[in-house]
Amino acid sequence: MQDYMKNVTVIDHPLVQHKLTLMRDKNTGTKDFRMLLNELSTLMAYEVTRDLPLEEVDIETPVAPMKAHVLAGRKLGIVPILRAGLGMAEGVMELIPAAKVGHIGLYRNPETLKPVSYYCKLPSDTCSRDMIVVDPMLATGGSAAEGIRIVKEAGCRTVRLMCLVAAPEGIKALYEQHPDVPIYTAAIDSHLNEHGYIVPGLGDAGDRIFGTK
């Protein structure tokens, strides 16, 4: 295994894989694409949060006292990278309703493929939260790396990336810039084409979510 693959978890749950296939299909329209992304995000969040720490507390059930587990450790935050990350945020919030939500606006310059920043609003206590950055596509890795850099610059020490489809090029680039950041994805695809699109991928995620093409 390549070194840069060691931070990657592929979520191969059958429901995740089935829904991803439906999303990839070019005949899937905006309404279904959006609904599937939302459902997938909830399923994936379940795996992304699998290693959250627990602590024991004393409670009483109607039958007897017991020691039971509750979440411990730092509170969570969700940071969608606009636009396409917005399609994942609701699904994650269904599982983590108390999470605060930051937004980072980035678009990829179609010529240079470099991310251009246009918006940022993070929770004021970002430095004391564990953040999950969400964006369906990890292509060159430029947008995710920049989004994570911004979150770290705000003081956050623990960041995870949740995406849907990743290219090997993006995984490698992200590892080089943020070797401490685990990546959770539903698929690792073949490569990028000459326009920086993931092959086979699912096309332009933002356009398919919002119906802008």
Residues that bind ligand PRP (CB under 6 A): 81-84, 106-108, 113, 115, 135-144, 170, 196, 204-206
3-state DSSP: the chain helix, strand, coil percent, rounded to 5?
35, 30, 35
User: Does residue 139 belong to the site contacting ligand URA (CB under 6 A)?
Assistant: yes
Q: How far apart are CA 213 and CA 210, in angstroms?
A: 9
Q: Would you call 9 a catalytic residue per the annotation?
A: no
> CA quadruple 75, 5, 168, 109: dihedral positive or negative?
positive
- The residue from 137, 151, 181, 183 that contacts ligand URA (CB under 6 A) is 137
| Residue 31 per-residue DSSP state | H
Q: Would you call 32 a catalytic residue per the annotation?
A: no
* Pairing relationship of beta strands 165-166 and 115-121 according to DSSP bridges: unpaired
User: Does residue 205 belong to the site contacting ligand URA (CB under 6 A)?
Assistant: yes
- The residue from 8, 88, 161, 198 that contacts ligand URA (CB under 6 A) is 198
Torsion (CA) 112, 114, 117, 123 in degrees, nearest 10 = 170
> At its nearest, how many Å lie between ligand PRP and the CB of residue 39?
18
Interacting partner of 197 out of ligand URA, ligand PRP, none (Cβ under 5 to 8 A depending on kind): ligand URA
Q: Would you call 207 a catalytic residue per the annotation?
A: yes
Q: Which helix (H) or strand (E) holds 42?
A: helix 30-48
Hey, which residues are catalytic here?
108, 112, 204, 207
Query: Site residues (CB under 6 A) for ligand URA?
Result: 84, 137, 139, 196-198, 201, 204-206
